[in-house]
Amino acid sequence: MCAHRVVRQDQLCRLFPEVPERTLRYRTRRLHDLGLAGRSRPYRERGSAPNHHWPTRRADCLVRGEPLPRGGERHTPNPVFLAHAAALTELYVAFATEAQAAGLSLRGYRREGDAREPFKDGTRERALAPDALLVLDDEQGRELQAFVEIDLGTMSHARLRFKAGLYAAYARSDAWREHHPFLPALLFLTTTPARASRFLKALEQTLSRRPGRRYGSRSRTPLVAAAGALALTPRRLLGEECLANLDGHEGLRLVDVLNAARAPYEKQLAYWRERRQAEEEKRQRLWEEPEAMREHLRRHEHWLGAYGAALGPAGTQALALLLASNERPLPDERGLLRAIARDFGDALIELTPRTIPSPGAEAKGQAALLIDSYRAIQERQLRALTDRYGTGPHLRKATERLRSGGLIEPRDLHALPNDAARDATCRAEQHERQRAYWTWRHGTARWLARKAGPLGRLTHHPEDFYEQIDRRWLRVCQRCQEIAYPKIDDAGRCEREPACHYCHSTERVTAYRKNARTDQEGETHP
């Protein structure tokens, strides 16, 4: 009684078929005598109405565990309230006792007070308070929900339009997402087909309007609604095709309406199931195929900066070399790829800066092994290039980088064979100018020795002037660490500002300042 507010005597008999009717009458009479229940028998045109029982204020306080109320008891409810409350109880009794036969089971039933949901309609604070919220389970265990409005022919046309507008605003505001997995269906149960049709028409007109940009189209937030002349006979919902919907279709079953309301949710569930399955298959493929894992990380390389930095400078270079490679992954590369996959975990599929963790101990250990492996490979590549092209500025810088504990960057490593070949060509030009310069320098030194006079010719040799001439005419490239020899023209004139033979630049070419030495072949070195 306290849950449903009004319960008829015949409804009690249907709810408790195992209890004899006489016992139920005795118990309700005892509740009445104890002041815990009131009863009334409303007027009926034909026959006599059964007793309608309702809880007293004292009974409500006992059920809620509150102190006994002060003041008088509530008056006998008016007939309109009794009829409406009894109709709602009849709906509950029908589903509680007969839903199993229709392949449904009643999971939850909430009356107006418990089903009330405040929501925001634009800037307005509103509240949806259906007469009841039905929560059912079908044979597959799927949850089905419906708001129920019962009209016994007493609701005015203005009230009908207001109700329709309220449900339309609730559907468009998306406030239902806070309380339900999908938008429940709306069941409008009234007394005549004409009133049901008028309500559906008012609801259709309200849904078709788009009051401002804050609302989307009806297709975005579909409200499934159905109506029928079932207010006094709600049990027909479970066995007859007695509903009409917004599209004008008649003869619909309750299950059809409830499934139509759940359909968008089912579609979304199917989408997420397919997505999770695809992600799981992709994650499994990344675990099993190192090439696929490397390609996946390469596509998200711009998000891996912090992860690589945590591996150290050499670790960052090793990770860059790993991602730049197109060869079959080496054993140490596979080890680092597996360690990275373990670190990323569930974030492996959708990599973002916020989901990428710091490298773990396993990843750091695998990175150290890969650094040693890469260093050994690059040293072999440098030796092969040196044997083929000789030592040039690019190979010399690459060797110094390896000796300092670093690795050669992927772009530099890819360009190194061409750079080494170009250095070999430039070295040939350097040696050609070197030989011409040596001839010119020897002649100039002899001229300086003769210019020193008879005594100078006895005390000085041409070789004594080589250092003076080198400081005057030779240049050193600070970028390439190579000597730039001047060009000697046919008239024996020497170029004043020679460019570097390798980088062909004069910006970082400085004067020859170190003491010169001559090797066995006569080559001058800084």
pLDDT at 17: 93
Q: Is the dihedral of CA 500, 506, 512, 514 positive or negative?
A: negative
| List of residues 6+ apart from 69 with CB closer than 8 A | 57, 58, 61
Q: Can you name the residues that pair with 55 across neighbouring β-strands? A: 37
Same domain, 350 and 445: no
Same domain, 71 and 169: no
- Residue 521 pLDDT exceeds 50: no
User: Burial letters for 426-451: b for 16+ Cβ neighbours within 10 Å, e otherwise?
Assistant: bbeebeebbebbbebbbebbeebbee
Same domain, 223 and 333: no
Q: Residue 23 is encoded by which pair of tokens?
A: 């016992």
Indicate whether 170 belongs to any domain.
Answer: yes
- Residue 458 pLDDT exceeds 70: no
Same domain, 127 and 244: yes
Please give the Cα distance from 221 to 204 (Å, whole number).
Answer: 13
Considering its fold, how many domains does the chain have in total? 4
pLDDT at 522: 38
Pseudo-torsion of CA 315, 318, 323, 327, nearest 10°?
A: -150
pLDDT at 255: 94
pLDDT at 294: 93
pLDDT at 455: 63
Per-residue pLDDT, averaged over 155-168, amounts to 89
Candidate from 40-49, 216-225, 315-324, 456-465 with smallest mean pLDDT? 216-225
Nearest in space to 94 (alpha carbons), one of 226, 227, 254 = 254
- Residue 474 pLDDT exceeds 60: yes
Which strand ranges, in their side-by-side order, compose the sheet holding 509-511? Answer: 482-484, 475-477, 509-511
Verdict on whether the full-model pTM lies above 0.75: no
Per-residue pLDDT, averaged over 12-20, amounts to 94
Place of tokens 């418990």: 114
- Residue 226 pLDDT exceeds 60: yes
pLDDT at 48: 81
Candidate from 69-73, 142-146, 258-262, 368-372 with smallest mean pLDDT? 69-73
Indicate whether 412 belongs to any domain.
Answer: no
φ/ψ of 509, rounded to 5, equals -90, 120
Parent domain of 311: 289-407
Confidence of residue 211 (pLDDT cuts 50, 70, 90): low
- Residue 212 pLDDT exceeds 80: no
**CATH number, residue 66:** 1.10.10
* C-beta pairs of 402-411 under 8 Å, 24+ apart in sequence: 402/375, 402/378, 405/314, 406/313, 406/314, 406/317, 407/314, 407/317, 407/318, 407/321, 407/371, 407/374, 407/375, 407/378, 408/317, 408/378, 409/317, 409/320, 409/321, 410/320, 410/321, 410/324, 410/325
Domain boundary (236, 267, 298) is at: 267
**CATH number, residue 95:** 3.40.1350
pLDDT at 459: 64
Q: Is the dihedral of CA 189, 190, 193, 198 positive or negative?
A: negative
- 181 close to 265: Cβ distance less than 8 angstroms: yes
Same domain, 151 and 293: no
Same domain, 240 and 150: yes
DSSP alpha helix (H) spans, 187-312: 193-208, 254-288, 290-299, 305-309
- Residue 378 pLDDT exceeds 90: yes
- Residue 210 pLDDT exceeds 80: no
Same domain, 28 and 64: yes
Secondary structure class of 376 (helix, strand, coil)? helix
Q: Residue 209: CA atoms inside 13 Å, Cβ hemisphere, count?
A: 11
Same domain, 98 and 15: no
Q: Which residue has the higher pLDDT, 519 or 57?
A: 57
- 485 close to 435: Cβ distance less than 8 angstroms: no
Domain boundary (77, 104, 125) is at: 77
- 409 close to 317: Cβ distance less than 8 angstroms: yes
Same domain, 313 and 365: yes
- State pLDDT tens for residues 265-314: 999 999 999 999 999 999 899 999 999 999 999 999 988 889 999 999 99
Can you spell out the DSSP letters for 393-449?
Answer: HHHHHHHHHHHTT----HHHHHHHHHHHHHHHHHHHHHHHHHHHHHHHHHHHHHHHH
Indicate whether 282 belongs to any domain.
Answer: no
Indicate whether 283 belongs to any domain.
Answer: no
Chain mean pLDDT for the chain:
88
Indicate whether 284 belongs to any domain.
Answer: no
Indicate whether 176 belongs to any domain.
Answer: yes
Per-residue pLDDT, averaged over 190-215, amounts to 79
| List of residues 6+ apart from 518 with CB closer than 8 A | 466, 524
- State pLDDT tens for residues 92-111: 999 999 999 889 999 999 99
Per-residue pLDDT, averaged over 144-154, amounts to 94
Confidence of residue 523 (pLDDT cuts 50, 70, 90): very low
Indicate whether 477 belongs to any domain.
Answer: yes
- Residue 517 pLDDT exceeds 60: no
pLDDT at 319: 92
pLDDT at 457: 60
Indicate whether 2 belongs to any domain.
Answer: no
Same domain, 386 and 429: no
Q: Residue 430 is encoded by which pair of tokens?
A: 């350097």
- Residue 515 pLDDT exceeds 60: no
Give, in degrees to the nearest 5, the angle at Cα 44 between 38 and 46: 140
Same domain, 120 and 261: yes
Domain boundary (77, 98, 123) is at: 77
Confidence of residue 525 (pLDDT cuts 50, 70, 90): very low
Same domain, 382 and 460: no
Secondary structure class of 266 (helix, strand, coil)? helix
